[in-house]
Amino acid sequence: MFKYALIAGATLLIAGSALAQTKGAAALDANNDGKVTLSEFQAGRGAQMMARLDTDKDGKLSKAEFEAMRKPKAEDAATPGKGAGKMWSKIDVDNDGFVSKTELDGFLATRFKRMDADNDGALTTAELKPGAGRAKVGI
């Protein structure tokens, strides 16, 4: 009996973890209407970035935390990741050395606009694919 309870518990734990890690458009589409609005994109991507990058959990990103995102391996921690400095200068608008939620939302709004190929104010699954929107000029 204990053996079956242990197996059932392990199965639920694995299934729960898999469901909690929903990725892509489904994770961003908070109201499940099949499209991702700017506010959903900012909330979802912002939360994902902060959860992954804000290692000291102070609610803002330092340049070191941000540069760590761009690294392929942990042993490269002494050197900035590829393109991190250029991207950092676009995000840290007030140049205080940290990225606040407001600055992150502004960056994500620019990215959203670039990804929204049909300019309808919502992102489809196709528009959310990696590389989507890179060809738009002037944004």
Residue 133 lies in a domain: no
> Which tens digits make up the pLDDT trace of 47-78?
999 999 999 999 999 999 988 876 655 554 55
Q: What is the pLDDT of residue 67?
A: 86
CA distances from 22 to 19, 25, 44, 129 (A): 6, 9, 11, 15
> Could you give the CA distance from residue 18 to residue 12 in angstroms, rounded to a whole number?
10
Range of the domain at 35: 23-123
Number of folded domains that form the chain: 1
63: which 2 tokens? 């340049």
Residue 3 lies in a domain: no
Residue 1 lies in a domain: no
78: which 2 tokens? 């002494």
Q: What is the pLDDT of residue 53?
A: 92
Tell me, what CATH number does 90's domain have? 1.10.238.10
Positions of the chain with pLDDT lower than 70, given as ranges: 1-25, 70-83, 132-139
CA distances from 93 to 21, 62, 74, 106 (A): 31, 13, 27, 9
Residue 99 lies in a domain: yes
User: If you write DSSP's letter for every residue of 14-69 in order, what string do you get?
Assistant: HHHHHHHT--THHHH-TT-SSSEEHHHHHHHHHHHHHHHH-TT-SSSEEHHHHHHH
Q: What is the pLDDT of residue 107?
A: 94
Residue 18 lies in a domain: no
Residue 102 lies in a domain: yes
- Regarding beta strands 98-99 and 61-62, do their DSSP bridges make them parallel or antiparallel, or are they unpaired? antiparallel
3-state class of 118 per DSSP?
Answer: coil
Residue 15 lies in a domain: no
Instruction: Look at the block and give the residue holding tokens 């200068």.
Output: 89
pTM of the model: 0.69
35: which 2 tokens? 């499209």
Q: What is the pLDDT of residue 85?
A: 79
Q: What is the pLDDT of residue 24?
A: 58
Residue 135 lies in a domain: no
